[in-house]
Amino acid sequence: MKVTAILTEVNPERVLDVAFDVGKDKLNSVFEIGQQRHEDEFGNRSGAIRRELKGYMEQARAKGFETLRVLCEPSGGYEKTLVKIAHQLGCRTAYVGGEVSHKFRVVVYGEPGKTDTRDARPLLAAATHGKLLTIRELPPEYELLREINGEYDWNSKQRVMVRCEISGLLVRLFPDMPMGNDFLYEPGGMAMAREYGWNPRQIVAAGLAHLTACLKTANVRLRDHTIERIWEAAGQSVQLHDGGPAADYVAERLQRCYEHFERLDRDRLALRVRLEEVYRKLRETDPWLPTAVDGVIKLYMLARIIAETGPLSDFRSIQQLYRFAGLNLCERKSGKYQGKTKISRKGRVALRRVLARAVLPLVRKGGLYGEWYHTPDGETKKGKGMSALMRKFLKMILGWYKSGREFDLKRVFISAGDYAAQAA
């Protein structure tokens, strides 16, 4: 028989939980004092929030409570005003995860139906069982780093969208284009876009000599054979267009897409520089933060990871950091049934995205994880392998920080006990 001690929750500081269902325009609140349940509804505006919270605090003190604990779900930013004012008034705050809220709604009401007036009560039930998430207030430098990384993410998504649009337009305008997608964004491809808009009719009209001069100016090392292939393909594609204004308009649109892409590229480089500058300042106050190592991680990528984790000193263990990132393992077993063990994906999406970007170069042959990732028969471990490496990389970052030492390649693939034995 297994016996486990049950820790009874004690409320020595007499904190009153007030749960809020947060909407864009209004808030629904509920709290319980003794045998009475108090429910309210008011606008999601700073003046109304401040007034109502002060009123709740007066009621709480009249009943012997010392302060409030404001409970809410993360609601796409609409809860930020409530949390900020609660902190200003000296209240405590906590999040209840959306999945926990949904499960406790079934417990409280016996069915999963939801309305604005019903959604707050399950948060109180979650609080009694300790199923709460800490609302972290990041130091100003970390908050700035996260804001810059958010714009970097947005920039990356825009670049993907523009590249997709360029590819779609090029298929319509120059279907026989013989070069791969990489060439489109190399100096030669960018020159073709500026000079001709990749319009085969304009390429043919200007002549082979003009095409050669354009491409050689952009890239002196470009082979003559490549230029001849583009010229021949332009001659074939030009027969597919009647020379009307539609093709010219597509070429103009393609040029605008390239200009947009170039602006995004310049902004992306500027954001990398800004990320590195802020991260260097952080390392001045916390020298234990990791630094760039050739073949492992670049400085701007380290800055992006720390932007999403926040201060690593906030995490007591790697399991806590796994849960924050959504990389903790979830098992599914019941009787003889053995389900697949997968990562939860319930944590910070942006952190998992950055980790995937950081690990991807390391799984190439010759990379840090290349030997493990590539099997002897030439296959790769793909999905589960990438998830495992993201966990390992995150653990390496935390251990690197906690140790306060420089990066040691020997520690990557050896346990702490074996490493200590070899050092002895």
Predicted confidence (pLDDT) at residue 214 exceeds the cutoff of 90: yes
- The answer on 292 and 414 residing in a single domain is yes
- The answer on 297 and 336 residing in a single domain is yes
- The answer on 255 and 302 residing in a single domain is no
- The answer on 151 and 122 residing in a single domain is no
The residue length of the chain stands at: 424
pLDDT at 114: 85
In angstroms, the first-to-last Cα distance of the chain is 42
Q: Which residue range is the domain that position 293 belongs to?
A: 286-418
Q: Where a domain ends, among 87, 103, 128? A: 128
Name the residue type at position 304.
R
For residue 181, is it within any domain?
yes
Query: Which residue reads 């300790």 in tokens?
Result: 130
Out of 17-21, 134-138, 316-320, 419-423, which region has the weakest mean confidence (pLDDT)? 419-423
**What is the Cα Rg of the chain in Å?**
29
Secondary element (H or E) of residue 419:
helix 416-423
Kindly report, residue by residue over 325-350, the tens digit of the pLDDT.
Answer: 998 888 777 777 777 778 888 888 99
Residue in 238, 175, 184, 179 with CA at minimum distance from that of residue 206:
238
CA 97 to CA 214: how far, in whole Å? 57
Q: Give the three-state DSSP class for 93.
A: strand
pLDDT band at 7 (very low <50, low <70, confident <90, very high): low
DSSP letter at 376? T
| Token code pair at residue 114 | 């939801």
CA 355 to CA 304: how far, in whole Å? 9
Q: What is the CATH number of the domain that holds 32?
A: 3.30.420.10
Query: Which residue reads 């095409």 in tokens?
Result: 211
pLDDT band at 424 (very low <50, low <70, confident <90, very high): low
- The answer on 220 and 152 residing in a single domain is yes
Determine the average pLDDT of the residues in 361-371. 87
DSSP 172-229: HH-TT--S-HHHHTSHHHHHHHHHHTT-HHHHHHH-HHHHHHHHHHH-TT--HHHHHH
For residue 3, is it within any domain?
no
- The answer on 290 and 407 residing in a single domain is yes
Count of CA atoms in the C-beta half-sphere (13 A) of 302: 24
Determine the average pLDDT of the residues in 34-63. 93
Secondary element (H or E) of residue 31:
strand 26-33
Edge-first strand order for the sheet with 67-72 is: 36-43, 26-33, 15-22, 67-72, 92-95
Task: Say how many domains are in the chain.
Answer: 3
For residue 241, is it within any domain?
yes
- Higher per-residue pLDDT: 277 or 6: 277
Q: Looking only at Cα atoms, what is the longest distance across the chain?
A: 90
For residue 70, is it within any domain?
yes
- The answer on 245 and 152 residing in a single domain is yes
**Helix, strand, coil share of the chain (percent; to 5):** 60, 10, 30
Residue 415 neighbours by CB distance under 10 Å: 9
For residue 1, is it within any domain?
no
- The answer on 299 and 261 residing in a single domain is no
For residue 2, is it within any domain?
no
Q: Where a domain ends, among 98, 128, 158? A: 128
Kindly report, residue by residue over 154-212, the tens digit of the pLDDT.
Answer: 999 999 999 999 999 999 899 888 988 889 999 999 999 999 999 999 999 999 999 99
- The answer on 295 and 229 residing in a single domain is no
Find out whether 86 and 79 touch, Cβ atoms under 8 Å.
Answer: no
Q: How many helices (H) and strands (E) does the chain have?
A: 17, 9
For residue 275, is it within any domain?
no
Determine the average pLDDT of the residues in 357-381. 84
- The answer on 262 and 219 residing in a single domain is yes
User: Distance of CA 305 to CAs 166, 281, 329, 358, 418, Å?
Assistant: 30, 16, 21, 9, 29
- The answer on 87 and 51 residing in a single domain is yes
Name the residue type at position 221.
R
Q: Give the three-state DSSP class for 94.
A: strand
Is 333 exposed, middle or buried (CB count within 10 Å of its CB: 0-12, 13-18, 19+)?
exposed
For residue 91, is it within any domain?
yes
Predicted confidence (pLDDT) at residue 246 exceeds the cutoff of 90: no
| Token code pair at residue 33 | 């004092």
- The answer on 80 and 151 residing in a single domain is no
Q: Where a domain ends, among 236, 269, 302? A: 269
Residue in 407, 318, 310 with CA at minimum distance from that of residue 354:
310
| CB contact set of 348 (below 8 Å; sequence gap of 6+) | 308, 324, 325, 326
DSSP 295-335: TTB-HHHHHHHHHHH--GGG-SSHHHHHHHHT--EE--EET
